[in-house]
Structure 1
Amino acid sequence: MSAPPTPTLIEAIRVYARIGLLSFGGPAGQIALMHREFVDERRWIDEPAFLHALNFCTLLPGPEAQQLATWIGWRQHGVRGGLAAGLLFIIPGALVMLGLSLLYVAAAGLGWFAALFLGIKAAVLAIVVQALLRIARRALRTPLQRAIAVAAFIAIALFALPFPLVVVIALVTGWAAGRWRPAWLALAPAAATMPAVSARRAWRQSAMALIVGGAAWAAPLLLVLATLGSGHVLWEIGAFFSRLALVSFGGAYAALAYMAQEAVAGFGWMRPAEMVDGLGLAETTPGPLILVTQFVGFIAAWRDAGPFTPFVAGLLGAGLTLWVTFVPCFLWIFALAPWIDRLERAAGPKGALAAVTAAVVGVIANLSLWFALHTLFGELRRFDWGWASVELPVMASADLGAMALALLAAVLLFGLRLRIIPLLAVCSAAGFLFGFAGGTGF
């Protein structure tokens, strides 16, 4: 079989830009788009290599679709190609999210805007439940995987264990099972499909990526620390989203659970309803869903702006969040891509991924419950029993309008199988009409 043709860098950049502008619909749609462009139509990547790289990217923290795009660029044109493909996958959505964040703070408090977002919240609740069901069907194939999912849900929902700790426990459990009891995680042996890079060259490339990427990752944090100090909100933003970048296995919904826990209850940057609003905005943009982090960073800095104006602080917060969220994504690809064949055959990493994916089901289940309670009820009450605690809704605070819109969203998504962008449009219009009619009291 002849080797796939290698495009010129300019030809490749045109395609990378097209994908960045059209990459709506979450990772499944984005990966399908790249498969069609690179494998089916242009044949720049062969099928085994594409699937091999996709499996590799799911082992890494961060958005797998963006990392797959980066790997494709790296494979075709080295670091230049990886940077071009990865950046063009992010930039269109980041610009849209910045505009939506500015609109959000400008229109906050207006009745029509609140009514609009009531419908968006209902749609987001249905989308998160759909993601939970989809991931559960794929990830929970054995009793051990189901036990890990239940344990992760209990650990976060009842005992408020930190998300990074849940990830670490799942990683260790999966690594051990993958090495000694692979059947417990339904692991199948993988055959090598790509030639491995020589060990000496791989070590050299990995070391260079770690040094340069690590320095780039740390540079803005050190600048903030030197000029504004560790008590400033920009330092808190940079440090927190750097930690998130290290543990964001399992996609944006899992990372969102940890982010919601810390941004709302930990740092107090925003209210629960605003977190749901941010996810709704991220669903409307091209690019990875993890761009919701940009919204959180923008809002946090906007509200604690000194010594800057809110506008400047918001831009700095959004930019810093993007930097510390996505620089690690490039670092992982450039450092580990030379080892892709060896990693694919390693039982330990595959077991760790399977266990983390199972834990993510429990994490997203908790996120779904959290979204539902804060969307459908106006007041929650916390009950404590020793080490455990739980928030339960005050039934008298039930929002009948939100419940009606959530039911509409469920029918449209699960019954009529409406796509995400039309779903958000219909639900936001329904929320607006409901508010205009006086149903929400705005």
Structure 2
Amino acid sequence: MHPRGARPTQVVPLREATRAWFRISLQTFGGPAGQIAVMQRELVDERRWLGERRFLHALSYCMLLPGPEAQQLAVYAGWLLNGWLGGLVAGVLFVLPGLVALLGLSWLYVAQGDTVVVTGLFLGLAPAVVAVVLQAVLRIGGRALRHPALVALAVGAFLCLAVLDVPFPAVVLGAGLVGWLVGRRVPTLGAPPAPVASDAPPPLVPDDALHHAAPGWRRNIVVLAVGVVLWVTPVALAWALGDGRSVYTDQGVFFGGMALVTFGGAYAVLSYVAEAAVETYGWLGAGEMARGLALAESTPGPLIMVVQFVAFLGGHRDPGGLDPWLGAVVASLLVVWVTFLPSFLFIYLGAPYVERLRGSAGLTAALAGVTAAVVGVIANLALFFAVHTLFSDTRRVGRDHLGLELPVWSSWSWPAVLVAAVALVLVLRLRWSVLRTLGACALLGLALHLATT
């Protein structure tokens, strides 16, 4: 036991922890489930720095937060092992390989996107994303929709987005409120499935040796003030140097706000991002949004890194007074900054209150409502990608803000439909990994493009 008031910050040597986080960062393919599995294997099973119960305790807290839960889990685990510096190292390394890789792929797309090889590869990647997103609907729905009220919430969320044009944040907040209200009458609404027994070895580091911080309003004010200043300063500089509104301030404000409402993971918020980036701001086309997600799926790190691709294209096409390539890089880095910095703030600010949050039955029910709505949100994303990837023309049925965007059936693309069908078989029937499926479909798309040109 540590003496009263002691606050250990170096449970393991920081240099050793840094090497471990760098090793983890190179294996973070396959979305949050795969990323969490990599961390559990490295930290719990092999190095035994954390116990499995403590690891799942941290994961439960991260699931309550907006933003990429796997990256937040890395920050939380790094904080437990090495204090705030350990959390910073873990969180930065978690996204760094993906940032570098996606920056290079974005450059390749803009510079060489009209070549035969690149065009053929994207012919296969974009339709495959439809199958990947549909798989996410089925996987999350199977876990989350354990009650008829939750099924109704999922359907309602889909209709609100696809037909009624309700803003994404309103859908998320409304679902949380409904879940809380229903949970008062159905106490088991947010109850998780029964835990699976584990034979994980005991940790080498006992729980009471992990880093901790006493909660208090003074500490909270300092953490909040530092975090907010660091978060908004780049956007304020872009506003000042750009003499007002520009693509950089628009992206900084939009994606900074998005970071506060991204409950349910990347797939859930991408519907919101796609609608705004394509239809409101015009940073890229609808088909390009699917290609960007395919690139994010094929690189390490959180899937929400697709926002870097969106920012790169927007900055390149409307660079203001900068060189287009410099504008693209500046936009990319700015958006990554405003998207991921809140994750550090949420962990540093909220970690001391984890136990209180986990003990709230009302909060658990509200989270169940949000998760159910996420299923409907992702289904809307699947519809968006299918309409804009498998068909060349669309039409809107309805009027004003009441209607549904449907494809012009005669404009279907048989190569895209074929690739999407193959991808569905690979991920749903043969249970191939996302990365393996994308690779196979990219090669199929290249072969089809070469055969038809």
TM-superposed CA distance for 1:6, in Å, is 2.9
**CA distance 1:336–1:111, change in 2 (3 Å):** same
**Residue 183 of structure 1 aligns to a residue in which SS?**
coil
Say if 1:22 and 1:286, in contact at 8 Å, map to a contact too. Answer: yes
What is the match of residue 29 of structure 1? Answer: 34
What is the match of residue 425 of structure 1? Answer: 439
Say if 1:294 and 1:319, in contact at 8 Å, map to a contact too. Answer: yes
TM-superposed CA distance for 1:422, in Å, is 1.8
Q: Name which of 167, 170, 183 aligns with 1:165.
A: 170
Say if 2:153 and 2:175, in contact at 8 Å, map to a contact too. Answer: yes
What is the match of residue 136 of structure 1? Answer: 141
Aligned length: 436
Matched, 1:88 2:93: yes
Say if 2:153 and 2:369, in contact at 8 Å, map to a contact too. Answer: yes
**Which amino acid in structure 1 is aligned with residue 381 of structure 2?**
L
Say if 1:206 and 1:338, in contact at 8 Å, map to a contact too. Answer: no
Say if 1:187 and 1:350, in contact at 8 Å, map to a contact too. Answer: no
**CA distance 1:416–1:275, change in 2 (3 Å):** same
Distance (whole Å) between structure 1 residues aligned to residue 448 and residue 344 of structure 2: 44
**Which amino acid in structure 2 is aligned with residue 367 of structure 1?**
L
**Residue 404 of structure 2 aligns to a residue in which SS?**
strand
What is the match of residue 335 of structure 1? Answer: 349
Structure 1 unpaired stretches of 5+: none
Name the TM-score, length of structure 1 as normaliser: 0.94
Matched, 1:147 2:152: yes
Matched, 1:235 2:249: yes
Q: Name which of 339, 343, 361 aligns with 1:347.
A: 361
Say if 2:80 and 2:212, in contact at 8 Å, map to a contact too. Answer: no
Say if 1:65 and 1:288, in contact at 8 Å, map to a contact too. Answer: yes
RMSD: 2.3
Say if 1:197 and 1:339, in contact at 8 Å, map to a contact too. Answer: no
Structure 2 unpaired stretches of 5+: 3-7, 196-205
**Residue 270 of structure 1 aligns to a residue in which SS?**
coil
Q: Name which of 334, 348, 367 aligns with 2:381.
A: 367
What is the match of residue 123 of structure 1? Answer: 128
**Which amino acid in structure 2 is aligned with residue 299 of structure 1?**
L
**CA distance 1:42–1:203, change in 2 (3 Å):** farther
**CA distance 1:117–1:189, change in 2 (3 Å):** closer
Say if 1:148 and 1:355, in contact at 8 Å, map to a contact too. Answer: yes
Say if 1:377 and 1:393, in contact at 8 Å, map to a contact too. Answer: yes
Matched, 1:58 2:63: yes
**Residue 308 of structure 1 aligns to a residue in which SS?**
coil
TM-superposed CA distance for 1:97, in Å, is 0.5
Distance (whole Å) between structure 2 residues aligned to residue 87 and residue 354 of structure 1: 30
**CA distance 1:86–1:328, change in 2 (3 Å):** same
TM-superposed CA distance for 1:178, in Å, is 4.0
TM-superposed CA distance for 1:326, in Å, is 0.3
**CA distance 1:318–1:382, change in 2 (3 Å):** same
Q: Deviations over 1:181-213 (max 9, x none)?
A: 4323446899xx988999964444332221111
Name the TM-score, length of structure 2 as normaliser: 0.92
Distance (whole Å) between structure 1 residues aligned to residue 420 and residue 211 of structure 2: 51
What is the match of residue 394 of structure 1? Answer: 408
